[in-house]
Amino acid sequence: MDFKKAAILGSYISKDYAEDLFRLLATYTSISASEAASRLNLHIKTVQDFMEAMFDLDFLEREEVYEKKRPYYRYRIKAKKIFMELDLVPLFPKENSDDRTSLKIREKKNAGVRFTTSRDNQYISNIAIWIGQGRERTERRINLSIPQGKFLFHLPFPSADFQPVGEIIRKAEVDSASLSEILDIVDALIGLGVIEQKNES
């Protein structure tokens, strides 16, 4: 199950009426949204949305029937148990993360960012970025992990030469086990216009 489907399931399962609707589905051979709504004193749209969401998630099956020439669905539960398995594998860093240590970066000029150093002045503890213009201008603050803070402490200034990520990691004496979180903050700050990368021709 992906995050989108898990979010839908979680959203509907958390409703106060979810257990009662499943109880009806388990009790009746099949049931329509209007029947369930009247039985539980719920709005028919509320029940219809629930039934359709469970159908889309493949927990229910439905049959279109006709009554006085007006078609509607009757729903039937498919199983006695629902299992939710969330695959986190795609979220883990790709195996080729090491290849990105050659990416050359530096701080971008006039990025509108404020770096706050730790009390011992050994690493950056957080950064504040101004986003937008005029009254719409807002401050975005990012708290950093210590490895990220050490890395950004050694980030080349806008006037300095670009340096490879791997070289900055070495200077900052950051453990290679923290590579994925270093690359994460680098990507985030490139997206926010704080870091620029050298385009190799």
167 and 108 inside one domain: yes
Number of domain units in the chain: 2
Residues 12 and 68 in one domain: yes
* Pair 68, 101 in one domain: no
- What phi and psi values does residue 62 have, to the nearest 5 degrees? -135, 155
Residues 71 and 124 in one domain: no
pLDDT at 86: 87
Same domain (yes/no): 97, 129 = yes
Q: In this structure, are 105 and 164 located in the same domain? A: yes
The residue from 11, 42, 77 where one domain ends is 77
Name the region of 134 (left: φ>0; alpha: ψ -120 to 50; beta: rest): left
Residue pair 132/68 in contact (Cβ under 8 Å)? The answer is no
What does the alpha-carbon distance between residue 4 and residue 48 come to, in Å, rounded to a whole number?
20
Q: With respect to residue 88, please indicate whether it lies within any of the assigned structural domains.
A: no
Q: Which residue has the tokens 């950056």?
A: 124
Q: Residue 141 has what pLDDT?
A: 92
Has residue 73 been placed in a domain? yes
98 and 180 co-located in one domain: yes
- Cα distance between residue 149 and residue 115, in whole Å: 10
Q: Give pLDDT, residue 70.
A: 83
Residue 39 sits in a domain whose CATH number is 1.10.10.10
31 and 115 assigned to the same domain: no
The verdict on 130 and 193 lying in the same domain is yes
Please check whether residues 105 and 14 belong to one and the same domain: no
Q: What angle do CA 169, 174, 177 make, to 5 degrees?
A: 105
- For the chain (201 residues), the mean pLDDT of every run of 10, in chain order, is 89 95 94 94 96 96 85 92 85 71 92 89 91 81 94 94 94 91 93 88 56
87 within some domain: no
Provide the pLDDT for residue 50.
97
CA 167 to chain centroid, in Å, comes to 30
**pLDDT of amino acid 28:** 93
pLDDT of residue 196: 94
Host domain of residue 105: 93-197
Can you give the pTM of this predicted structure?
Answer: 0.65
User: Per the domain annotation, does 168 fall within a domain?
Assistant: yes
Which of 127, 175, 122 shows the shortest CA–CA distance to 147? 175
| pLDDT, position 92 | 79
Please state, in angstroms and rounded to a whole number, the distance separating the CA atoms of residues 105 and 155: 8
3-state DSSP percent of the chain in helix, strand and coil, to 5? 45, 25, 35
- Alpha carbons 149 and 173: distance in angstroms, whole number: 11
Last residue of a domain, one of 33, 51, 77: 77
pLDDT for 201 equals 56
